[in-house]
Structure 1
Amino acid sequence: MTVPPGPQGQPQGPQPQQQPGYGWPDGQYQGPGPQYQQPQQQQPQQPQQPLYQEPQYQQHYAGQGQQYLGEPPYGFGPYAPPRPPRPTHTAFPSPAVVLPFQRWLRDRSLRNWITVLFVGLVVVPSFALVAFPDLSQATQSSWVFAVYFACAWLLVLWISVRPPMVKPLMLAEVAAIGLVLEAPLAVFLERTLHAGTDNVVSSVFTVGIPEEFAKALPIAVLAYVHRHAWASLTPKDYLFLGAVSGLAFGAAEAVEYITKVIPGEMTQAAQEGASPAAVVLASITQGSWRFVTDPMSHAIWAGITGYFIGLAVRFTRHRVWLAIFGLALTAVLHGVNDYVAGHFWWIVEIVVSVLLFVAYSQAGGVIEQDLSAAEQAADAARPQPSGPAPWPGAHPGWGPPQPPAWNPAAGWGTSGFTPLPGHYAPPPPAAPYPPYPGGSA
């Protein structure tokens, strides 16, 4: 029976069940029964592959010799991102960028006196050797090296003391007077008193007092001459100015020893049979010691004297005794130093002098507080006038004691303060307002 085709050419009605082989391409029908299997050629056994296969991007970079850094995401092995290609050339920056001379010239931090001093400390030794190469110019070169070491110590003192009110012009005045007048005045006084260090008393009165007086005199004279301009200076400032005066005196003394005293001693030692090598070694040792230590030793003693001059200027009630005590203290230290030089007690004296200088420079405000309290107590104990003053200020110094002055520029820390006229301590902070009843306002 034939089923007529449908409208699209497909047979209509139920279709018989498809038989095996119906619709298979030619030659591919497999009927029922045992099937014939074409023998297959056996393949060689491949090595077993690991369960984890390295990612392709790792294999790619590993082939290029890349380094794998960091922790990769999702548990993969180490990897590194691809490097960007290098530029074919590098551009050199503009010379105005790497050497900004115009900006440096406008920078104020490169034009202060500390920068100039630092540059001079580096250049001066070479300059002295070039400018004074002959032995006949030993005096000139000695002066250069003496001033060089004095300036080096000046930089150290400035960093350690930090004077709040000292200006470069003040330093120039003190240094100039010290270099010109202090050494000749000290030599004149010592010759008049027949200086000697045979015993400690002679060393104190014939060496210590003349030299310390010569170093303190310029500070006292300048304090009187500039009493209005220097009215704001603190005792700490006077300590630093005294140290500068001592540096100038020490430099002049070092030149005197280098050019006159040491050559005479070495000549005498050579005449007595000392070997040339021993003479040269001794002259180098003594000369180096004089250049390095003379300015600083005198600066320490003169700085202590200058501190007491500053106290005398500030506290007029005790002016005379403060000045005398400062001069006597440093004269004793100086005299004992010269008497025990070269022995164990010499080291002890140097340590004591340095510790006193540091104590006065860093914790001297305690002394000023006590002196201020003593002056206020003395003012409060003075009798008051019976009647009112006819005009304000008619009785100067009378009335209730004023609160202590306050100097915002003297950084004495917790040990005290340095009073300055016209500057009063700020009032204590006000108490907080009570809480608003019922909540916030």
Structure 2
Amino acid sequence: MTLPVVAVVGRPNVGKSTLFNRVIGRRLAIVDDQPGVTRDRNFSPADWAGRHFYIVDTGGVIEDSDRPMDRLVREQAEVAIREADVLVLVTDGKEGLHPLDQKVAEMLRSSGKPVVLAVNKMDNLPRDPAHHEFWELGLGEPHAVSAGSGKGSGDLLDRIVELLPAADALPDDPTQIRVAVVGKPNVGKSSLVNRLFGEERVVVSDEAGTTRDPVDSTMAYHGRNLVFVDTAGLRRQAKVKEDLEYYSYVRTERVVRDADVCLMLIDGTQGISHQDLRIMEQAWEAGAGVVLVVNKWDLVEKDGFTADLMVKAMRERTPFLQWVPVLFASALTGQRVRKALDMVLEAEAQRQRRIDTSDVNDVLQRLVGRQPPPHSRGRPVKIRYGTQVRVAPPTFVLFSNLPREVPAHYLRYIHNGFRDAWEFTGTPIRIFFRESNTS
């Protein structure tokens, strides 16, 4: 990251995610009354008074807990502290000073980095003086805020910006590709991201549903900046019961819609399910490129069952999968994992591909000459010419005398003909009909 980093830390349920959302101006991190909701580091660009920076939301630090999840969250918070340029310790003004606040303050002081103390939930500002007791932490002036209402947040941000090291404003990045890592819970999404980055970027646990918020991680690869968003696992909506899990479900769907390419993971030991297909169709319909990764391939009992047979069975089940590249890999061992990066680049290249109008019409005329469109109520349907009107995904407009009378099966024929000519591997294509002005 070229921008300075601000890490928001503290014990559970003091309002770190609410403050994070307040700073970035949108609800990116999940907020819930249940403590321990945030498990991973959430990264987002933010700005204040003309200064740009990254803000990092961390899970609540629980000292001396032997629960594996608490230990993992604490390790993630420690990584965020190491990466940060400025630390923001969030405390709870309603509950008052807590022994764990003291321990976290000691940890932050030992980092040697500038620390801003935020006393949250001060909803009765400026009448409530409760924040003054936090001077005892020895971190300088306590900044009273109400992250929920926004009271005091401007003064807090002013102080944060004062402590930021010099950095350039956030530039537009034409090389960026947003990659959503999607799939059902516990298929290895976080393990794949960690393997690609060579470090524990996101929490990995045998407990299904560990990742709840989308988590962004950026790498440079062959001249492109790949922004990986590790998402919560998508379950069937009927099975999404808890409010917290529902928020994760909605957030993941939003990430899929915003992605350039989706890395769809399935568990090779279980095969592809209806839910896996639904997720891929959702990404495909949203216009994203799709790469299918069959994870845990090292654990599959082959016994005559080959990758080719599995691909054939999947494509017979769902026709659009014939245009989706498939990678058999193991996030655990690293087997063929790096190849996923090349497949992402290729899918995005195909998604941005533009075909010359002359080539479009050459192929179109060949298709129409081979198989003219059927008549409609005795009237001939003519397709006169076509052109590509946009990319991401490639979108074509074909002009006809009777555009509403072109049947669905003939649209599929044109679609398949375009695929035969240009493939467009890993990306959907869209074809629309419009009425031509000539008779």
Give the structure with the higher percent helix: 1
Q: Which has the higher contact order (CA 8 A, sep 6+)?
A: 1
What range is the shorter-chain TM-score in? under 0.3
Structure with more of its chain in strand, by fraction: 2
How does the TM-score come out when normalised to structure 1? 0.22
TM-score normalised by the chain length of structure 2? 0.22
Q: Select the structure of larger CA radius of gyration.
A: 1
